[in-house]
Amino acid sequence: MPLCPADEPGHPQHPAEAAARATGLADLDRVVTHCRACPRLVEWREETARTKRLAYRDQDYWARPIPGFGPPDAPLLLVGLAPAAHGANRTGRIFTGDPSGDLLYAALYDLGLADRPESVRHGDGLELYGVRITDPVRCAPPENKPTTTERDTCRPWITRELQFLRPTVRTVLALGGFAWQAVLPALATAGWQIPRPRPAFGHDAVATLPSRTPGPPLRLHGCYHVSPRNTNTGRLTPTMLRTTLREAALSAGLHPNPM
Ligand code: SF4
């Protein structure tokens, strides 16, 4: 029997209640996968898994929320948008199983921040070094467009993740304007001050967020999203991605490979 209505994974308050009770990052990563707080996204993630894409018709889709991926003491956090219906929603790992992820993991490997250039699926043994990747919306949305209500309902998960990462995280790299806007309120709740005027997203934009308590500030870097729309048009080239990732890694105190 649930202790209160918010213990039901489909209750809109479930993310806030369950995230607050998580005892650590590993617990949070486990608990989030049971969330069903957004009816439209639950329907979409499961419908996609039933109908499948022809190329993946023999595969079992993950069809649940996607937890963050990477070490719990990462100094650098990459923030995307939401899982892709036939990418992470299929493979169970963030940015995995689609062209966006292929580019991102190849760049991380080139910079010495991953132990291999490809991410195949949840549980394939891939290791990231000093980098964690997460999304502000954990379920695949139709047309990659979550509503503002869905974004806000999901916010407690990333907020709690940032609270757990707070002792070590020094830099957040927002992949796209949605990530930038979505992560700011989560950072404010997790203990950093948002400058006024609110910093604007741009490729290579950098903002410094002082800590509310004694401690180092956090740097927020911007990078165009690794979406096919940006990469196929040349708005974001592989070199631009590596350059921006490297800058963010350096600002986090990591030692990425030279380009
Ligand atoms: Fe839960 Fe977030 Fe998925 Fe909504 S998007 S069902 S809040 S995990």
Please give the distance, rounded to the nearest whole angstrom, from the Cα atom of residue 179 to the centre of ligand 1: 16
pLDDT value, residue 3: 61
For residue 6, the model assigns a pLDDT of 80
Task: Round the average pLDDT of the chain to a whole number and report it.
Answer: 97
Q: How confident is the model at residue 2 (pLDDT cuts 50, 70, 90)?
A: low
User: For the domain that residue 73 is a member of, what is the CATH number?
Assistant: 3.40.470.10
pLDDT value for 5 = 78
Average pLDDT over residues 9-14: 93
pLDDT, tens digit (0-9, with 9 covering 90-100), for 66-91? 999 999 999 999 999 999 999 999 99
Q: Residue 80: name the closest of 247, 241, 207 by CA.
A: 241
- 46 token code pair: 């499961």
Average pLDDT over residues 155-184: 98
| Cα gap 96→135, rounded to integer Å | 13
The verdict on residue 44 lying in a domain is yes
With respect to residue 119, please indicate whether it lies within any of the assigned structural domains. Answer: yes
* Placement of tokens 């991926």 in the chain: 69
Residues with CB under 6 A from ligand 1: 15, 32, 35-38, 41-42, 65, 137-139, 150, 153-154
Which residue's entry shows tokens 């005027």? 197
With contact defined as beta carbons under 8 Å apart, do 183 and 175 qualify?
Answer: no
Q: Is residue 221 part of a domain?
A: yes
Judged against a pLDDT cut of 70, whether residue 116 lies above it is answered with: yes
Q: Could you tell me which residues come within 8 angstroms of residue 136 by beta carbon, excluding any fewer than 6 positions away?
A: 79, 81, 82, 151, 154, 155, 158, 178, 179, 182, 183, 186
pTM over 0.85: yes
Spatial strand order in the sheet of 206-209: 131-134, 76-79, 171-175, 218-223, 206-209
Please count the structural domains in the chain: 1
